[in-house]
Chain A
Amino acid sequence: EAQVTQNPRYLITVTGKKLTVTCSQNMNHEYMSWYRQDPGLGLRQIYYSMNVEVTDKGDVPEGYKVSRKEKRNFPLILESPSPNQTSLYFCASSPRDRSGTEAFFGQGTRLTVV
């Protein structure tokens, strides 16, 4: 089954404790991205990757890091989490095709930083 898998689904952590949210896709997609979703706001892009070893900042990259060492994996790293990073996070992937193919989203990771 084609899917994007995020782990963990829920996470509560303390300020300053480094954490990683994993994202894996089994569709051989080139393009992957991370978003955060906050009440009343649309999904906002944090980072994206056009292919292996190619990453770039989205609209709200501050406080986050990513890596793309393999095509299928795109982890999101919070080196020193802060309470304002409490949010619902989504990973998405899509083929490298400009004709209008859709993005597939993971099930989300609800992060709480206390």
Chain B
Amino acid sequence: KNQVEQSPQSLIILEGKNCTLQCNYTVSPFSNLRWYKQDTGRGPVSLTIMTFSENTKSNGRYTATLDADTKQSSLHITASQLSDSASYICVVSSINDYKLSFGAGTTVTVRA
């Protein structure tokens, strides 16, 4: 069964600091990997999408990396802000179908 594992489950950081979230997956054959940000009680919003040939993609203070060989991805948040407090979800899709495999998410809390 295709799986997406995220770590850590949660983390707390001080405003202005950096943090890195991890995502390991077993989805095969791989199509693309997405990182979503989900504010409490709201729908997920896309941050980045990466296909097999992409190693790094940035969206403002968010930088995602992908190693398709080891099936690992990371999301780096630079100079965190209070508004970064949210759940970050790693989503992987297979080239065979449109089904998305979701990680359980990492809850980030940024404190002043």
Contacts and interface: CB of A to CB of B under 8 A. Distances in A.
Interface of A: 4, 31, 33, 35, 40-45, 48, 50, 58, 88, 90, 92, 94, 96, 98-108, 110
A1 to B, nearest CB: 14
Interface of B is mostly: strand
Interface of B: 4, 31-32, 34, 36, 41-46, 49-51, 89, 91, 93, 95, 98-100, 102-105
B42 A108 contact: yes
Nearest to A39: B104
Contact of B104 (A42, A90, A102): A42
A40 B104 contact: yes
B49 A100 contact: yes
Contacts of A98: 31, 95, 98
Contacts of B32: 100
Given A45-B100, A58-B99, A107 B105 contact: no
A50 B102 CA distance: 19
Contacts, number: 59
Given A100-B51, A103-B100, A106-B43, 8 more contacts: A41-B104, A42-B89, A90-B44, A98-B95, A100-B50, A101-B49, A108-B43, A110-B41
A102 B32 CA distance: 10
A92 B51 CA distance: 20
The 3 A-B pairs of least Cβ separation, nearest first, read A105-B43, A42-B102, A100-B32
Contacts of A43: 44, 89, 100, 102
Nearest to A45: B99
Nearest to B54: A100
A30 B89 CA distance: 24
A50 B36 CA distance: 22
Given A40-B104, A43-B89, A48 B43 contact: no
A76 to B, nearest CB: 15
B98 A50 contact: yes
